[in-house]
Amino acid sequence: MNLLLLTSDDFVSDSLVKLQGRQLQHVLGVHQAKVGDTLRVGLVNDRMGEGIITGLSADSLEMEVSLTEQPPEALPLTVLLALPRPKMLKRSLQHLTALGVKRIVLMNSYRVEKSFWQSPWLSEEKIHEQLVLGLEQARDTILPEVVQEKRFKPFVEDRLPAMVEGKRGLVAHPVGGNACPHQISDEVVLAIGPEGGFIPYEVEKLEEAGFERIHLGSRILRVETAVTAITSKLYD
């Protein structure tokens, strides 16, 4: 954790913060903080800054907080992710959040196992936990929006065209496209398939919605690696 992410509930006055629970345990355990120490903090969906610890006990921490910095710029990127298996979902959400993606759509695809949609990791609370971990890792405060689209066709036909309008749609697919471009300045909507990839019908439907195919060479990467690789190529 490189930043302690606070919510407005943590503030007992304009600049005084009182912590308990997970965050307190972390500050005590990992940072081995003591009174007088300065921690990097941020207010969720707001500014970042520093907090000076003014009081500390086993079950509560008080901090004088000053929030003066803007969070880092977001990537102009929406990621459509065919729902991965739970373990990879967790890591992918953390990676995407840490990289600065602010809009994530978890979508269905033929090769997504139906049971994945029943995963407890899809609850709002569990997704929120992964996003917070990503923000605290990267030193950011702006929570990504995560949408779940459990049916491929209505999503791609009815809602995707508006989402991609005025942007560049890219679908990662091993055959038939160009190599992933580097350092572009376009806003992008990027679709990443499940293990085994989108089926041809799905790629065609995405192409009908205006997407172009891109590939990463002959190596096959795991979803979480591919997500980071493509994002890193596209932007500085």
Is there binding between residue 22 and its own copies (CB under 8 A)? no
Q: By CB under 8 A, name the one of 27, 140, 194, 214 that touches its own copies.
A: 140
- Nearest CA-CA partner of 66 in 52, 53, 54, 77: 52
Stretch that binds its own copies, among 19-27, 57-65, 82-90, 212-220 (CB under 8 A): 212-220
Closest approach of its own copies to the CB of residue 72, in Å: 5
Is there binding between residue 130 and its own copies (CB under 8 A)? no
Alpha-carbon dihedral 7, 120, 110, 201, rounded to 10 degrees:
-10
Stretch that binds its own copies, among 53-61, 96-104, 147-155, 201-209 (CB under 8 A): 96-104
Is there binding between residue 100 and its own copies (CB under 8 A)? yes
Stretch that binds its own copies, among 17-25, 92-100, 119-127, 160-168 (CB under 8 A): 92-100
The total of other beta-carbon atoms located within 10 Å of residue 137's CB is: 15
188 - beta bridge partners?
Answer: 77, 168
H or E element: which one contains 134?
helix 124-138
Reading the block at residue 206, the tokens are: 């995405």
CA-based radius of gyration for the chain: 20
Instruction: Give the residues lining the site for its own copies (CB under 8 A).
Output: 2, 72, 95, 98-100, 137-140, 179, 182-183, 217-222, 225, 228-233, 236
